[in-house]
Each structure stands twice: as structure tokens, then as C-alpha cells.
Amino acid sequence: SLYADFAYLQMPYLPLLYATIYKLTGTSHYLLWGRLFSFGFMAVASLLVYFISRKISGSRLVASCMVVIFGFNGVLIRTVGYSWNSVMPIPLALGGFYLFILGMSERAGPSGAGGEGRQVKPGFILFGGLLVSLAIGTKLLYAVMAPAFLVTALLCLRSLPFRRRVVATVVPLLLGMLVGLFPVMIYLFRDVDGFMFNNLQYHRLNAVWYQLQGVTDTMSIGSKVYYISGLLAEPSNVALSVCAVFLTLAVMRTLGAGRPSTTLRAGGPAVLLSGLLVLFSAALLFMITPLADQYVAIPILFGLLFVVCLYAGIPEEGTPYARLVLVAAALATVFFTGPRLFKYQDRVCDVRSWT
């Protein structure tokens, strides 16, 4: 048993994937395969960042800038440098977000009158929920995505009657999540006590152990705020924060001038969903003890999506300035983070350092 025999202290999907790969290949280079998969996960995640940004912004330049900002973010780089369960959920979460917003994009139906002819794409929403549940089944912290998706499904697409909205969005979303979490439920009901201890109770005991050892860093609310502010002060996160502040002010100026953005309204599901994901994942940081980089990487990931959604809310005459800010942020991120990556290039060519 994964929990009784190995005392695996996380959700089950990553070791199940690795066990399948090791069995099929017969390899003894476990760490090498794990790191190759981490690299593959991030390659897929980068493609998804591009597709999501291109879909929301309508600009290849903006999409390319977001890929650069994503790929050279210092916190994300430190998170993906290991063969652990903090990497695999990233492309799964992005894929779920992408499919969900595709499914929530209304299109004209047969009747086309009174909102009755407005249709969504339940199949995309179902598979979006499936990918979200796979992310949760890999790392439990991604469970914050579930309420964000459900709230978005309920509050958006107001042109549809409430009952039809629930049937078209909430039902396929929940169905996809249930299918994706079915193996987790098997582990849960097979050994409820063992599953709960390894995924929840152990981590509470671990926090108590840190406190008994006199560790104070990232334990209290104040120390967590200090730790998070230190990460946000890194150049790559400063660049992202500048983009977020600039675009937020630009959208607020547009709304304050009585010129609500039709683009922002059209992208309502993506705007609401990305904002809720940032809010919920940021709040989660203050419930985790002790705090670490891989946890802060989650709201940073969702913050990238929110920045793209803010860009979509800027009027056409303001987009050249917004693009200039994004390009400058991408260049600054590469300038400050890139050199630290290039110094490890010799290890890539050294086969002995792979495992």
C-alpha cells in the first residue's frame, strides 16, 4: 500500500505515475526520469501559458512576454528544480483553467432570442474539471481551485437562466472532478485513518514539531508576511507586480471614466476565475506552517493569469503602453534571473550529474 508500506505523505497521483513509468521502462535511473518529467511538465505548462495568454489577450506579443515572465520567475524555477509533487500540478491547473474558459465562452445557439439560444461547451468544462481534480490528486493544496471554479460557474453567464446555467456548467464541472478524484476516493475508503494521517494530520504534527524545536521562521503571521515580502522583492516578482499594478490602474481608470470595457466583460469568466484563484491561494499561505517557496509559487502562477486578464480589460488605445510595460517586464526578468541559470549549463552536459 502506498500509505501503509511507504508512508507517502502526499496525494497519490505522482508516485502512481512514476511507478507506471519505472515499470514500463525497467529503468534504475529514478531521479533522472523524475527530473525529465519535471522538465516535460514545465514545457507543457509554458505552452499552456502561451495559449491561455493568446486566447485572452488576442496578442502573440503579450503571450510571448507572459511565457518569458513565467519561465524565468525565480520562485517557480526553484520550485521545479526537483522531482516532487509541486511540478506536475502546474500544467494540470493551467490546462484546467484553459479548458474551463473555453467551455464558458458563450456562442449563439439555434434560437438566438432572449438568451435561450446562448450555449456553452459542457464537454470542455467537464475535462477542465477533470484536470483540476488531477492537480488536486497530485498536491492537496490545489484544492483551492475547486471553490473558485464553482463560484465562477455559478456567477458568470448571466444571460442563461439559473437552472440551465447549473446544468450546463456546474454539473459537468462536478462530474469531471468526481471522475478525476475517483482513484483518490479508493485510497480514502480503503484506509480512512491512514489516508487522513498522511495527507492532513502528519503535517499538523510536523508544524508542532517545528514549534517545539524553537523554529520561528515562517511560523507566525508576521514571519510569513516578512517571508512573502522577501520573495516578492525578487526582481522577477517585482516585474510581475509592476505589470499587475499598472494594468489594474489602467482598468480602474477606464471604469472610472464611465467607459466600461467590453473586452473585460466578454472575458468575465477568466477575470473572475483568475482573481478568485489568486485570492484563495494567497489566503492559503497563512494556513500553511512552516511556509516555503513551493507554496508561494501557487499564487504567483495564478497571478500571471490575472495579469493577462487585466490586459484584456484595457481599451484599444491603451494597449501599446501596456505592451511596452509587459515587454520591459519580460526583459528585466531575463536580465536579472537568466545569468543565474546559465551558470549551471555545464552540469547539463555532464551525464554524471543527471542522477
Longest dimension (CA), the chain: 67
Which pLDDT belongs to residue 81?
A: 77
Whether the Cβ atoms of residue 17 and residue 88 lie closer than 8 Å to each other: yes
- The sign one gets for the Cα dihedral 195, 200, 204, 206 is positive
Give the contacts of 44 (CB within 8 A, at least 6 positions apart).
91, 95
Whether the Cβ atoms of residue 326 and residue 287 lie closer than 8 Å to each other: no
**pLDDT of the chain, 355 residues: tens digit per residue:** 666 666 677 899 999 999 899 889 888 888 888 888 999 999 999 999 999 999 999 999 999 999 999 999 999 998 887 888 999 999 999 999 999 999 987 554 554 434 444 568 999 999 999 999 999 999 999 999 999 999 999 998 888 888 999 999 999 999 999 999 999 999 899 888 888 888 888 878 888 877 777 776 667 888 899 999 999 999 999 999 999 999 998 888 877 665 555 445 545 789 999 999 999 999 999 998 888 899 999 999 999 999 999 998 888 888 999 999 999 999 999 999 887 777 666 666 666 666 6
**Residues 292, 152: Cα–Cα separation, whole Å:** 29
**Residues 297, 301: Cα–Cα separation, whole Å:** 6
Which pLDDT belongs to residue 111?
A: 44
Q: What is the SS3 assignment for the chain?
A: CCCCCCCCCCCCHHHHHHHHHHHHHCCCCHHHHHHHHHHHHHHHHHHHHHHHHHHHHCCHHHHHHHHHHHHCCHHHHHHCCCCCCCCCHHHHHHHHHHHHHHHCCCEECCCCCCCCCEECCHHHHHHHHHHHHHHHHHCHHHHHHHHHHHHHHHHCCCCCCHHHHHHHHHHHHHHHHHHHCHHHHHHHHHCHHHHHHHHHHHHHHHHHHHHHCCCCCCCCHHHHHHHHHHHHCCHHHHHHHHHHHHHHHHHHHHHHCCCCCHHHHHCHHHHHHHHHHHHHHHHHHCCCCCCCHHHHHHHHHHHHHHHHHHHHCCCHHHHHHHHHHHHHHHHHHHHHHHHHHHCCHHHHCCHHHCC
